[in-house]
A and B are shown apart, each in its own frame.
Chain A
Amino acid sequence: MSPDGRHRSLRRRRWLERFLDGWAIYRRNPLGWIGLGLLALFALMAAASFVPPLIDPMYHPMAGVDPEITSSMGPSLRHWLGTDFMGRDIFSQLLAGARVAFLVGISAAFMSVAVGTAVGITSGYLGGLADTLLMRLADMVMVMPALLVVLILAALFGQLNIWTVVLIIALFRWPGVARVIRAQTLTLKHRPFIEAVRVAGASHRRILLRHILPNVLPLSFLYMTFRVTSAIMIEAGLAFLGFGDSTTVSWGMMLQWVWKTGHMFKAPYWLLPPGLCISLITLAFYLLGQAMEEVLDPRLRKEEGGVG
């Protein structure tokens, strides 16, 4: 094996070891298990969302209408969770909503964390004026209520599609990540091993990509789980207020239909599932994040005692 190849396989083994060590801590946390369990359930729902339209076109979440039904009906064998005001199947809508929630949550979180990490390490590594300017910008973006920003943009640019929404959420949710990553970069910057590679003549690009980035990535990943929850909440809020992408079904939009068509008092079978799903998926990502935080931050682990 070439020396470089050996180096790479060593590196890979170190990652694997780190992961296994982390997992050993994670699996002791019961709340972390609840989070993972819920996520598995929602992933299953998202995967299953492709099935109902294949069984019968009337189970298509958007376009499928049960020809025999013209108003909202309670649960039955034919429609497990009942139908909405125009005879569409609530259960298949709920499955499709899981798909949209994952899509929005994960892509928006990934983008915002990518932006935040990039800004954070640049700002922390470069320091000086660039640092000041980037952090001022972060301060400003941080205080903007993202939902209302999306609203005002919706007013100006007309109906937003789901990807635009994802993009805007990402563009307004990076400052928190950037700050944490910047702080982490600052502490890394002065560690001996970074000083050593610098003295050895490594370029800035190499130091950033090969030495600093791998060390802040776990933290970025942690923040991603928290960003997923906020992205899902913002998208759902937007859809609830009636500014969602009208070509996809999301849980927020389902709630909007219940509310706007005045079914909230008479159709609990329609009101309860979407709200419960949004709340639970948020909870699941939150628990996942908390448990991961415990893995990454030794101070948060349950006291194992110590000699002091």
Chain B
Amino acid sequence: MGLWRYAARRLVQIAGLFYVILTVLFIVFRLAPGDPVERMVDPSMDPEDAEVLMAQLGLDRPVGVQYLYYLKNFVSGDMGISFHYGEPVAEIIADRLPNTVLLFTSSTILAAVVGVLLGKRASWSKGRSTDTVLTFSALATHTVFLPWLALLLIWLFAYRLGWFPITGMVSEDVWLDPGATWWTRAVDVAHHMVLPLASLFLIQFGTFLLVMRSSMLETLKEDYILTARAKGLPERVIRNHHAAPNAALPVLTTIGLSLAFSINGGAITETVFTWPGIGRELVLAVSQNDYPLAQASFLLIAAVVLLANLVVDLLYAVLDPRIRY
């Protein structure tokens, strides 16, 4: 079927893109001032252990061979040992990745759904007060400075009102209690997630609302909408069944294009709320000169962005039959 072939083709392209990023990162790490070995092996490490690690990473070999080691190690999930944690980077990443994916995907999906629905709503009432209020709030949240918004949310809802925990992802008393059911733990995480989710959601949904609104207004001028009206269909069916699916296509493109922006926001949100995700890990690793961890976090984030783009492309292809051929 056309869709599968398309998916396969995009997957190959994305793999190629990732390979280029992998290679560029390798080169940049070698170009930077200082000893590349010191960047992969903790200088304060026990010399014998350091030698083993160097051999494993191929750092005692010529650069070309190092590159091959680098690729091989990446494929086998062996990305060195974190200076700060003293643990294999892959384990740290594997531990943090689900948290990032949880926060990021739920906020993006929520923002897209709410943005599309409200954008549709705004376009119906174009020029009336509902439209003005929606458009204005979208503009305001679209341009607000995220860390500031996050701090204000913490100040109001966590500090003044005390409704939510100030930071973190779990409460120790719940998670250390062996008798706690998975349900109480899930509720605990959800409780911690409300504010970070709200911050990420707020800065994302405005874009979707504005794009959906203008796209919907454009679509309503299309000839097939006139056809649908001439067919005697009720206005609701025309909007939901004929206009909205077409209007939503540019929104999907926007999700793809704004992913990089949202990932920046994700890292900031994780840092402000001490949410144990990859973005925060990258920020910490950079400030502690923990190169192996920084490198791996960056690569993983790049991979997440690329895969998210793939998902968006596939959704687009499902919604727009013209893409597949």
Residues of chain A at the chain B interface (Cβ within 8 Å): 139-140, 142-148, 151-158, 176, 229-230, 233-234, 236-237, 240-243, 252, 255, 258-259, 264-265, 268, 271, 274-276, 278-279, 282-283, 286-287
Contacts and interface: CB of A to CB of B under 8 A. Distances in A.
B286 A243 contact: yes
Contacts of A259: 147, 151, 272
Contact of B148 (A151, A230, A255): A255
Given A144-B305, A241-B271, A279-B143, 7 more contacts: A142-B260, A145-B263, A152-B25, A155-B286, A236-B145, A237-B264, A282-B143
26 contacts: A140-B20, A140-B21, A143-B302, A144-B21, A144-B302, A151-B294, A152-B28, A152-B282, A154-B286, A155-B294, A157-B33, A237-B264, A241-B268, A252-B145, A252-B147, A255-B147, A258-B151, A259-B147, A268-B155, A275-B145, A275-B151, A279-B140, A279-B145, A283-B139, A286-B142, A287-B139
B139 A286 contact: yes
Contacts of B17: 139-140, 143
Instruction: Bin chain B's interface residue count.
Output: 35 or more
3 closest Cβ contacts across the A-B interface?
A: A275-B148, A156-B32, A147-B264
A278 B289 contact: no
Contacts of A139: 17
A148 B151 contact: no
B144 interface: yes
A156 B271 contact: no
Secondary structure at the A interface, as helix, strand, loop or mixed, is: helix
A157 B291 CA distance: 12
Contacts of A242: 287
A156 B147 contact: no
Contact of A271 (B151, B260, B267, B301): B151
Given A237-B147, A275-B152, A279-B145, A148 B259 contact: no
Interface string B145-171: 111110110110001000000000000
Contacts of B259: 143
Nearest to B31: A156
A155 B264 contact: no
A152 B295 CA distance: 8
Contacts of A276: 148
Contact of A155 (B20, B149, B289, B301): B289
A176 B268 contact: no
Contacts of A229: 143
B68 to A, nearest CB: 22
A274 B146 contact: no
Contacts of A240: 147, 268
A236 B265 CA distance: 12
Contacts, number: 128
A109 to B, nearest CB: 15
B267 A278 contact: no
Interface string B26-67: 001100110000010000000000000000000000000000
B102 interface: no
Given A146-B264, A275-B145, A264 B154 contact: yes
Nearest to A241: B283
Interface string B94-124: 0000000000000000000000000000000
Interface in B222-275: 257, 259-261, 263-264, 267-268, 271-272
A143 B14 CA distance: 11
B283 A145 contact: no
Nearest to B14: A143
Residue of B148, B151, B294, B295 most packed against chain A (CB within 10 A): B148
A279 B144 CA distance: 4
A279 B143 CA distance: 6
Contacts of B154: 264
B301 A148 contact: yes
Interface string B272-288: 10000001001101110
A242 B271 CA distance: 11
Nearest to A285: B143
Nearest to A139: B17
